[in-house]
Structure 1
Amino acid sequence: MAMRRAPPLLFPAAAKHTATVIFIHGLGDTGYGWASAVENWRRRQRLDEIKFILPHAPRISVTAAGGMPMPGWYDIFALSGKIDDIKRHQDESGILQSREYFNGLIQAEIDSGIPPNRIVIGGFSQGAAMSLITGLTAKVKFAGIVALSGYLPLDAKIDDLLKENDHNRQTPILMCHGDEDQVVPTNLGKMSYESLKNRGFDVTMKIYPGMPHSACIEELDEVESFLRARLPPQDDKKTEL
C-alpha cells in the first residue's frame, strides 16, 4: 500500500528557472517550517533562478514518542541525545523508502530540463540525514549537498551503498552544527564529517558556538553563500536559428 504524501511546498524561481534546491525538514515538522528560511535566502535576489522544493514528510508512528504519529522520514527509536542510541537502532527500510521518494523528486526536476549539476539537496536534522544518504548514493552528480544539525545514517552500510552509485565524491558537501546540540549530538555530526572526509569526500564542516538543535542567521547566511557558489546565475544565451 502506497504511503500517502502531500505535494511539496514550492517556491518557483523568481527569474528563468535554471536550478533547483530540495530542502528536507526534520522530525515532527513540515515543509512550511523552512519557508521563512527560503524567504531569507531569496531576500537579496541573488538566487532568483532557483526553484525551492520543500517536501512534507508523511505521518508515521514514532517509537521514541511512544508510537505517536507525527511527520517523519523514518522511525526514531530513542531521543536520548546519546550517540550509541542513534547509531544502534536505525530504521533502514524507512530511510531507504524515503530515499526513493527523494530520488523521484530529483528525477522529476531532471525530466523537466534541470540538469543534476544544477540541483542541490539539503536538509535539517532528520532531513539532513536524508540529504546525505540520498545525495551520496544518487545515480547522478549534484551541484552540492547541505546537512544542518544532522548525521550520516546507515553508516555501517555506506560502503556497500556506494558500490551501487558513487558519483558525488567530488561534490561539495556543507555540514553545519551547533556545539550545544542535545538532540543530534555535535560529536555525532563531527564523526559523520570525519567518516566522509576519510573516504575522500569534499566535505566542509562549520560549528556554531552556543547553538542548540536549531538554526541561526549566521548559518543561514553560510548556506546562502554555498548556494550562490554552487548554483550561480546562468547567462541567457540566445541561439539564432
Structure 2
Amino acid sequence: MYTHNKDFKTKGKPLSETGKALILVHGRGATAPSILDLANYLPVQDFTLFAPQATNNSWYPYSFMAPEAQNQPALDSALKQLDELVKSILEQGLKSEDLYFVGFSQGACLISEYAARNAQKYGGLLIFTGGLIGEKVDTNRYKGDFAGTPVLITTGDPDPHVPVSRIEETVEVMDKLGAIVTKKIYPGRPHTILQEELDLASQLIKLSNNDLSNGDRG
C-alpha cells in the first residue's frame, strides 16, 4: 500500500487573473500532464488548470468496487490530496461555484466520491466512465447540497471496469444531493472518451460559465 505525495501540475494564467479553476484527475496508469491535454478539447482557455499526480500513477490499487479495506490507505490518501488541493484553491478567494472537476476512469471515480462527500455548489462535474467508490454504495457518507450543480456522467455498455448499475446508483445519489445530472450510456463503446462526450462537456461548461457570468449564483 502507499500514500500519495502532494504533487500536482498547473497550466494557464494565475488564478488571480482567471477567477475560475478546473481540476483534472487522471486514470490508472496515466499522469497529470496527460489529463491536462484533455483541456485542449474543452472551452477552458480562460481557466486555471490543476492536475494532481498519483503516486505510482494509480490512486488506489484495486477495482473501485473492491472491498474498501483493500484500497486503503491509498484511497483515503487520494481523497485527502484532492481535498487539500480544493481548499488551497478556495483559500485564494475562489468561490466553489467557480470550481469545476473532470476525471476519466479511476480519476472519474475519485472526483465522484470526493464531490458527493463534500457536496456544495460547484461549477460542474464531468465524470467520464466512473462512479461512487465501494463494494456497495454507502449513502451515509454523502452529505451536503449540490444546489443545482450540473453533472455529466458517461460510460460505455458494457464497460470492462465500470458497470452501468454503479452509474445508475451514482446518478441517484447525486440527484438526491441536489445535482442536475445528465447521464449518457453508449452501447458498445470502448473504454475511452468519445467526441460526443467532449461536446456535451463543452456545452455544460459554456452554459454554467455563462450563468455565473450573468450573476446567477444558484
TM class by shorter-chain length?
A: 0.7 to 0.9
Match of 2:182 in 1: 204
Match of 1:152 in 2: 132
- Structure 1 residues 92, 144: CA separation in 2 closer, same or farther (over 3 Å shift)? farther
Per-residue deviation, residues 77-131 of structure 1 (Å, max 9, x unmatched): x5xxxxxxx5342325422221111111111111112111100122111111111
Q: How do 1:47-58 residues align onto structure 2 when only pairs under 5 Å count?
A: 47-58=44-55
Per-residue deviation, residues 38-61 of structure 1 (Å, max 9, x unmatched): 11214xxxx3331121221111xx
Question: Separation in 1 of the partners of 2:138 and 2:123?
Answer: 21
Q: How do 1:170-185 residues align onto structure 2 when only pairs under 5 Å count?
A: 170-185=148-163
> Helix, strand or coil: the match of 1:178?
strand
Q: How do 1:1-241 residues align onto structure 2 when only pairs under 5 Å count?
A: 3-12=4-13, 16-42=17-43, 47-59=44-56, 71-76=57-62, 87-90=65-68, 91-138=71-118, 140-154=120-134, 156=136, 158-162=138-142, 165-168=143-146, 170-197=148-175, 201-232=179-210, 234=213
> Helix, strand or coil: the match of 1:26?
coil
Q: State the identity %.
A: 21
> Helix, strand or coil: the match of 2:196?
helix
Question: Separation in 1 of the partners of 2:34 and 2:138?
Answer: 29
> Helix, strand or coil: the match of 2:111?
helix
Larger Rg: 1
The gaps in structure 1 that reach 5 residues or longer are 60-70, 79-85, 236-241
Residue 33 of structure 1 aligns with an amino acid whose one-letter code is: S
Residue 40 of structure 2 aligns with an amino acid whose one-letter code is: E
> Helix, strand or coil: the match of 1:133?
helix
Is the 8 Å Cα contact of residues 15 and 48 (structure 1) preserved in structure 2? no
Q: CA RMSD in A?
A: 2.8
Question: Separation in 2 of the partners of 1:189 and 1:207?
Answer: 9
Question: Separation in 2 of the partners of 1:155 and 1:170?
Answer: 28
Residue 203 of structure 2 aligns with an amino acid whose one-letter code is: S
> Helix, strand or coil: the match of 1:219?
helix
Deviation of 1:196 after TM superposition, in Å, equals 3.9
The gaps in structure 2 that reach 5 residues or longer are none
TM-score (norm 1): 0.75
Question: Separation in 2 of the partners of 1:96 and 1:2?
Answer: 8
Per-residue deviation, residues 6-42 of structure 1 (Å, max 9, x unmatched): 3324233799402111010111100222233211214
What count of residue pairs does the alignment treat as equivalent? 210
Question: Separation in 1 of the partners of 2:116 and 2:9?
Answer: 22
Question: Separation in 2 of the partners of 1:93 and 1:2?
Answer: 7
